[in-house]
Amino acid sequence: METERKKMARINDEYRKSMTLKLDYNNMMKEYVGDEQGLSLSDFKNEEKTVVKAYKSVLNGRGKGMMGWTELPYNQDEIVKDIIATAKDVIKRADNFVVLGIGGSALGPTAVFTSLCHLRHNELKRSKRKFPKLYVEDNVDPERMNALLDVLDLDKTVFNVITKSGATSETMSQFLIIMDLLKKKYGDKAKDHMIATTSETRGNLIKIAKEEGLKTFFIPDGVGGRFSELCPVGLLPAAVVGIDVKAMLNGAKHMDKICMKKDVKANPALMSALLEYLSMKKGKNISVMMPYSDGLKYIADWYCQLWGESLGKAVDLDGNLVYAGQTPVKALGVTDQHSQVQLYREGPFDKVVTIIAVEKFRNDITISDGYKDIPDVNFLCGHTMGELINTERKATEYALTTAKRLNYTITLPEINAFTIGELLYLFEMETAFCGAMLGIDTFNQPGVEGGKNATYALFGRKGYEKTKEEMDNAPKKNADYII
Ligand code: PA5
């Protein structure tokens, strides 16, 4: 007889299998998009060495240097306990949870929140919502900050300032404004309204957090901003809005096992990296991410940062100028069928489109019966919106393919914490593999740092005098070119 333990293992195994994401790349191949645009098995064969090298480099690099994120599904038991306990406390005493952060410290929390919570979460009454509202503030537009302050009841608000460097101007300016308000209102108790997520060893935020006695979570050294969603950066906001963070990590763990398969045909991250790499070689400089689900809309935003900031590099690992990268573009199915798809189907042959499909929506709605005398309207009746969105997705795949446009589809059986963990991890691994194929440093961001430094210089921060001088000596604007 099957023991209880074996039974649980079998059930878990069956669940994992049923929730595994699928990658369908038929529409990248010559048989479907024609010889000129399409890829062939011999293209794959020709890149065998590149694939093996990339695979080995990721395998050997995992867990080391800036690849600490590969261990997040495995090494956070204690941290997750703390996150859940902290979230419980926040849920009990707060009605608003506000993330102050930018880039990797904001896009992940937004993507996961939108994917896994009610699409109108913040508009629901607390009794239905059950968890605090979540706001992710990733800009320094003064009107936005004022608007936020207009709607927040500070008594019922907990802020989470997130910055790995502990120095980013945008985040620190938000923090300064909020901390000042909190101190004026609550004095010594201000700390009850602020949680800091930052580097344990670097930057100013950790110093301030210690001084103020803030509850603090750490971003591991080997986890860069855009790879940080599965550490406290993303897990704390997720737990506060009731997301099962353990299931997310389990999904990531499941995908990690799949992504460690050596055979490119069994490894969706290695395969999609190869598809994108080959597409780039064929001049496809634009990577469109198009989920057919409003819940996944901000996954495309998150992906854009991951792909753009990781692969957009001037030099390769040997210092040669390569100007690598692909411009990521976000689109939403079906909404963008009525805007961008015209370009995707008939414009330049410079794009590869990744479609994200959802097999089964969490809830569906039937299109009501009516207007039997108007067949052109009545044909919709009795179908569900879930059927309609998926039919339109298939129609777009077909339309792109017949126009010889490269496209492939990643399918989620359904949207839940497990599959979102899988999806995020799949994209992280794909990015790591693709960066290794391109021979660049996937994990640095000198371009972003350049912008940060220029801001520090213009604001007169100490230590940035040289940049300031360079900027002062830059060619002055010509008034003739301003109308
Ligand atoms: O991926 C990255 O490293 C960046 O986009 C950062 O996430 C972003 O610049 C914010 O940096 P920090 O977390 O240091 O405030």
Which of 68-82, 222-236, 460-474 is the least confident region? 460-474
Helix (H) or strand (E) holding 429: helix 417-438
Tell me how far apart the 2 most distant CA atoms of the chain are, in Å.
87
Question: Of these residues, 309, 397, 422, 428, which one is catalytic?
Answer: 309
| DSSP letters spanning 147-191 | HHHHH--GGGEEEEEEESSS--HHHHHHHHHHHHHHHHHHGGGGG
**What residue owns the CA closest to ligand 1's atom 3?**
225
User: Where are the domains positioned within the chain?
Assistant: 14-62+249-438, 69-245
Higher-scoring residue by pLDDT: 462, 82: 82
**Residue 318's pLDDT is what?**
96
The rounded distance, in Å, linking the Cα atoms of 89 and 70 is 29
- Is a pLDDT exceeding 80 seen at residue 1? no
- 14-62+249-438: CATH topology is Rossmann fold (3.40.50)
CATH topology agreement for domains 14-62+249-438 and 69-245: yes
**Residue 84's pLDDT is what?**
98
In the reported structure, the alpha carbon of residue 356 is separated from the centroid of ligand 1 by a whole-number distance in angstroms of 26
Our answer on whether the CB atom of 228 is closer than 6 Å to any ligand 1 atom is no
- 69-245: CATH topology is Rossmann fold (3.40.50)
Q: Is 422 in the active site?
A: no
Taking only the tens place, the pLDDT of each residue in 129-180 is: 999 999 999 999 999 999 999 999 999 999 999 999 998 999 999 999 999 9
Taking only the tens place, the pLDDT of each residue in 320-345 is: 999 999 999 999 999 999 999 999 99
CA dihedral sign of residues 431, 433, 435, 437: negative
In the reported structure, the alpha carbon of residue 340 is separated from the centroid of ligand 1 by a whole-number distance in angstroms of 29
Taking only the tens place, the pLDDT of each residue in 36-79 is: 999 999 999 999 999 999 999 999 999 999 999 999 999 999 99
Indicate the length of the chain as a whole number: 483
pTM to 2 decimal places: 0.96
Average pLDDT value over all residues in the chain: 96
Quick check: 272 and 408 in contact, CB under 8 A?
yes
- Secondary structure in 3-state letters for 244-284: CHHHHHHHHHHHHHHHCCCCHHHCHHHHHHHHHHHHHHCCC
- Is a pLDDT exceeding 80 seen at residue 303? yes
Our answer on whether the CB atom of 164 is closer than 6 Å to any ligand 1 atom is yes
Q: What is the pLDDT averaged over residues 11-16?
A: 91
